[in-house]
Structure formats: structure tokens, C-alpha cells
């Protein structure tokens, strides 16, 4: 009841014309940066952060967080309509969202994406509301071994639960891990695989790779097919929205499971990218019709969007409670808090109640308004599909180039994007999955750092990954998932062997 009373106080702080106007501005800007490939929520927040330094902390954080919520919603639009992830965590949405658009179900796919985004964020906000004051003691238990165990769990679930050929998944993931090691080693400071190039000192940016792998490669494939328009016009109506919402109860297990995965990986933090892939893989693994995934199944949109948005929102919990950012955007917001003279941590909830609970209240209101806003503006984005692809393709290439350049203001990134476009094209032609590659590329360096710090701390003993119940449980679960296909076959063999035995005993 205390949390409910504080939340009502937060709404009282939030509901002023000035704050509501800033919230709307933030949402519109967020949708825009979410749609533009390569820009994304973290970059949008970083670019606009200096504009908020003259505002009061509550107004500033509401505007910046709403840019984040808008980017979370907007990232699905280009993923579904053009197979180009507007956000890094929207990669998994392309697996079934784009095929749905090809089948003339773009409206249903977009409605499903926005609705599941809202549900995932709502679950995470509820978690923040009731657990933020109590999370401090638990979150402090996470060190390098726990972080590595979470990343290891993500990799193992992809290999063990994926339907693709295991050797192709391992090849794809190994290449991603290799490229993730390019640049300066953050543990020792040594340079690796830079080959004397100063451009590679920063390593390979994940968003640059994703834009090329998914955006440019898709354009190359479409050009190969004589510039055929691969999408269909979507007509959003209240009937379509209500139809998708009516079917939501059928997928309550998927929505609940993906929300739980997202919240867990947001708090730990594994990240929204890992959450979206894991949510998709588990939905596919536990489905009765696994072969329909990747061919335009709406559950394949519900699962990754719910998990990604739950993770993206839950990442603010350790930032507020402990000052430990759970995502890139949370890290930027953390810098903003310090500029405004606020110190994140348990005392923040005592000394600055207006700020904290005003922010939490804006999460509720921002998600509701954001859902309505994207649903009503979908026809604007869906109408792009009516433009001939021959005219759209150059605009997409330019948009991708601008997005790649804007990330680090480097011309080299544009060439890198084009290179990854060719790689993505080749991978698609020979049947190597892109998802494990992109997952390894973004999590590889983090997993390596966590592993090496764990080894340094334990003197080289792998026993550190079973040193307490938390890390031991995660590591053991990861190993089980890695060999899940073998375990599954073993159980099936034992079951078949015992079945005739049981029949003979009864006879």
C-alpha cells in the first residue's frame, strides 16, 4: 500500500501541462529515432541530453525517458515493413514480422508488436514500482561470474534450443565472437586484430553491423529479384486492432514468459537484445508448431517484442536503486542524474521522492500514450509500402548510411556497413543464420570481459561459476540448455524403451 500511495504522489507531480507537453515531445522524437536505422534510443537520448540541463530534474528525466519509450515502440516499424531493424533489439522481430508483412498482414504484425511492447513495459514498470526499494541487497550479489553466467546462458539457449543446423549456428556464432574481439582489449589494454588500422581501434559497432547485415543485404536480395516490391500496403483499422487484442489470451503463456525473461535480463543486466532472442527462441521451442516460426507467425512477434521492452524498461531498476546502469540508455540517464545533482542509489528513494515517483508515474502514462500514438500513426508509415521499391531502395540506402555515420561520425562505418551487407547477402544465400552472428557480436566483448575478470579473481579456477547458489544455478541451467537436444533425444529413447516394457507387463 505504501508503494501505491507513493505512486499516486508521483502522478500528482507528473500531471502538469508543462510535464505532459514534454512527455508528448519525447514520445514523438523517440518514435522518430526508433524508426531511423542506426540512431536509436541511446543515441537520441545522448544527443538531446544537453538540452535538458536547464530544466528541473523531473521534467528533464520525463522527456528523456519518453524518448526511450518512443524508440522502443518505433523500432518495430522498419523491422516489420522493410526487414531493417530500427533498433538493435528489433532484429528478432524481423524473423516473423517481415514475413507477415509479405503476406499482407503488416497491420496485424504492427499491432501485435506495439501491444506486446506495451505489455512487456507495463510488467517491468510494475516490477519497478514494488521492488525498487527492495532490490539493492539482491543486485549487489552480481559480480563478473554472475554476469558471465547470464551471457553464457543466452549463448547456450541459442545453440541448444534453435531449430537451425547446430554446426551452422556454431559457425555463425564463432564468427560473431571473433569480430567482437577486434579493437582495444578492455582488460589488458592491448590491441587485437586491428592490423595497423586506427579506425578499428574502437572495434566494430554492433548497430553498423546490423544495418548492413539486415538492411543492405535485403536490398541486394531484392535487386536480384528485379526490384520486386516485397511488402504490401497495410490498412490499420479498429477492427484489426480489436482482432489482435481478442487473440491475446491465446498467447498469455508466451507473453508472461517473455516478460519474465525480459525483466530478469534487464535487471541482471543481460540486455534487451539477449532478451528478445531468448524470448523468441523459447516461444519457438515450446510451440506445438515450431516449423511455422520464421514464416509469419504472430507469436514470433509477440515473444521478442515483449521480452525486449520488458528488459529495456527493467534496466532502469538497478540504475535507480544502485546506480548500476542496466543498458546503454540507462547509463546515459545516469550521467544526467549526476549533472542534475542527484546520486542514484537507495537514498534516492528517500531524499528525492518527487523525482523518483514522478519518473515511475511517467512510465505508466508514457506507455499508454505511446501505444495510442503509434497505433494512430501506423498508416503514415504503412503508406511507404505503396511507393515502388525502385524509388524506396535509394532512400533506404541513404537512411542506412546516415544511421551508420551518425553512430560515431565516421566515414569508415559506412564502408563497414556495406561490407556487412555483402556478408549478410552471402549468409542468406548459403543458409547460415544471421541471428547467432549478431547476438555474439554484441555480447561477445561483454562476456569475454566478465569471464576474464572472473578468472583473475579466482586464480584461474572454473569453480568460481559454482561458487554460490545464484551463479551455480545459472551456469548449470546454461549447460543443460546447451546439450538440450541430446538430453531430449536421450529421454525420448528411454521413453520408447520403457513403453513396450510397460505393455508387456500389463499383458
Q: Tens digits of per-residue pLDDT, 5-17?
A: 777 877 787 777 8
C-alpha cell read off for 185: 582489449
- Quick one: pLDDT band at residue 58, thresholds 50, 70, 90? confident
The CA distance from 14 to 20, in Å, is 7
Q: Tens digits of per-residue pLDDT, 369-393?
A: 888 888 887 666 555 545 566 666 6
Closest CA to 210 of 501, 467, 434, 482: 434
pLDDT at 262: 87
Question: Does residue 269 surpass a pLDDT of 70?
Answer: no
Question: Does residue 484 surpass a pLDDT of 80?
Answer: no
pLDDT at 385: 46
pLDDT at 273: 75
Q: Tens digits of per-residue pLDDT, 402-438?
A: 767 766 777 888 888 888 888 888 888 887 877 778 7
- Quick one: pLDDT band at residue 184, thresholds 50, 70, 90? confident
494 contact partners, CB below 8 Å, separation of at least 6? none
Q: Tens digits of per-residue pLDDT, 113-166?
A: 888 888 998 998 888 888 766 655 555 567 788 878 877 877 887 777 665 677
Question: Does residue 337 surpass a pLDDT of 80?
Answer: no
Closest CA to 302 of 75, 35, 106, 119: 119
For 226, phi then psi, to 5°, come to 65, 40
Mean pLDDT for the stretch of residues 80-90: 70
The CA distance from 66 to 352, in Å, is 20
Mean pLDDT for the stretch of residues 290-319: 83
Question: What pairs with residue 183 in β-bridges?
Answer: 192
CB 348: neighbour CB atoms within 10 A? Answer: 20
The CA distance from 42 to 206, in Å, is 13
pLDDT at 450: 84
What Cα–Cα distance (Å) separates residue 285 from each residue in 83, 124, 369, 375?
Answer: 23, 24, 34, 30
User: Angle 435-458/91-102 helices, nearest 10 degrees?
Assistant: 170
pLDDT at 295: 81
Mean pLDDT for the stretch of residues 328-336: 68
- Quick one: pLDDT band at residue 312, thresholds 50, 70, 90? confident
Closest CA to 265 of 128, 437, 150: 150
Q: Contact at 8 Å (CB) between 375 and 241?
A: yes
Amino acid at each position: 500500500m505504501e508503494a501505491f500511495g507513493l505512486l499516486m504522489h508521483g502522478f500528482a507531480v507528473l500531471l502538469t501541462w508543462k510535464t505532459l507537453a514534454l512527455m508528448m515531445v519525447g514520445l514523438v522524437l523517440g518514435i522518430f529515432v526508433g524508426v531511423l536505422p542506426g540512431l536509436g534510443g541511446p543515441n537520441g537520448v545522448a544527443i538531446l541530453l544537453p538540452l535538458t540541463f536547464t530544466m528541473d530534474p523531473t521534467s528533464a528525466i520525463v522527456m528523456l525517458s519518453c524518448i526511450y519509450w518512443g524508440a522502443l515502440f518505433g523500432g518495430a516499424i522498419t523491422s516489420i515493413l522493410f526487414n531493417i531493424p530500427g533498433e538493435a533489439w528489433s532484429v528478432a522481430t524481423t524473423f516473423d514480422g517481415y514475413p507477415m508483412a509479405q503476406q499482407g498482414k503488416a497491420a496485424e504484425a504492427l499491432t501485435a508488436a506495439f501491444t506486446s511492447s506495451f505489455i512487456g513495459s507495463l510488467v517491468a514498470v510494475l516490477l519497478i514500482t514494488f521492488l525498487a526499494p527492495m532490490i539493492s541487497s539482491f543486485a549487489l550479489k552480481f559480480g563478473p561470474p554472475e554476469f558471465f553466467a547470464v551471457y553464457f546462458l543466452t549463448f547456450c539457449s541459442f545453440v541448444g534450443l534453435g531449430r537451425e543446423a547446430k554446426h551452422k549456428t556454431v559457425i555463425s556464432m564463432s564468427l560473431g565472437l571473433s569480430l567482437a574481439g577486434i579493437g582495444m582489449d578492455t582488460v589488458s589494454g592491448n590491441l587485437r586484430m586491428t592490423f595497423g588500422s586506427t579506425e578499428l581501434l574502437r572495434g566494430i559497432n554492433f548497430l553498423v553491423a546490423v544495418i548492413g547485415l539486415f538492411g543492405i543485404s535485403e536490398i541486394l536480395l531484392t535487386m536480384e529479384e528485379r526490384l520486386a516490391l516485397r511488402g504490401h500496403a497495410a490498412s490499420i483499422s479498429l477492427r484489426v486492432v480489436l482482432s489482435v487484442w481478442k487473440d491475446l489470451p491465446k498467447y498469455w503463456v508466451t507473453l508472461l514468459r517473455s516478460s519474465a525473461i525480459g525483466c530478469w535480463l534487464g535487471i541482471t543486466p543481460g540486455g534487451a537484445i539477449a532478451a528478445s532472442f531468448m524470448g523468441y527462441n523459447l516461444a519457438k521451442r515450446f510451440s506445438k508448431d515450431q516449423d511455422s516460426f520464421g514464416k509469419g507467425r504472430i507469436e514470433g512477434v509477440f515473444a521478442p517484442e515483449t521480452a525486449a521492452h520488458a528488459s529495456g524498461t527493467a534496466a532502469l531498476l538497478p540504475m535507480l536503486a544502485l546506480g548500476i546502469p542496466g543498458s546503454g540508455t540507462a547509463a546515459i540517464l545516469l550521467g544526467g542524474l549526476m549533472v542534475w545533482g542527484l546520486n542514484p542509489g537507495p537514498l534516492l528513494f528517500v531524499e528525492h521522492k518527487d523525482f523518483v515517483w514522478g519518473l515511475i508515474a511517467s512510465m505508466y502514462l508514457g506507455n499508454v500514450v505511446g501505444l495510442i500514438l503509434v497505433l494512430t500513426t501506423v498508416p503514415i508509415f504503412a503508406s511507404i509500402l505503396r511507393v515502388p521499391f525502385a524509388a524506396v531502395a535509394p532512400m533506404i540506402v541513404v537512411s542506412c548510411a546516415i544511421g551508420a555515420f551518425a553512430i560515431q561520425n565516421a566515414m569508415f562505418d559506412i564502408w563497414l556497413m556495406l561490407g556487412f551487407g555483402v556478408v549478410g547477402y552471402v549468409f542468406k544465400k548459403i543458409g547460415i543464420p544471421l541471428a547467432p552472428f549478431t547476438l555474439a557480436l554484441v555480447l561477445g566483448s561483454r562476456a569475454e570481459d566478465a569471464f576474464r575478470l572472473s578468472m583473475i579473481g579466482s586464480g584461474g579456477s572454473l569453480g568460481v561459476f559454482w561458487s554460490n547458489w545464484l551463479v551455480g544455478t545459472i551456469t548449470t541451467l546454461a549447460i543443460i540448455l546447451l546439450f538440450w537436444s541430446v538430453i531430449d533425444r536421450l529421454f525420448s529413447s528411454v521413453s520408447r524403451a520403457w513403453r513396450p516394457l510397460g505393455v508387456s507387463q500389463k499383458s
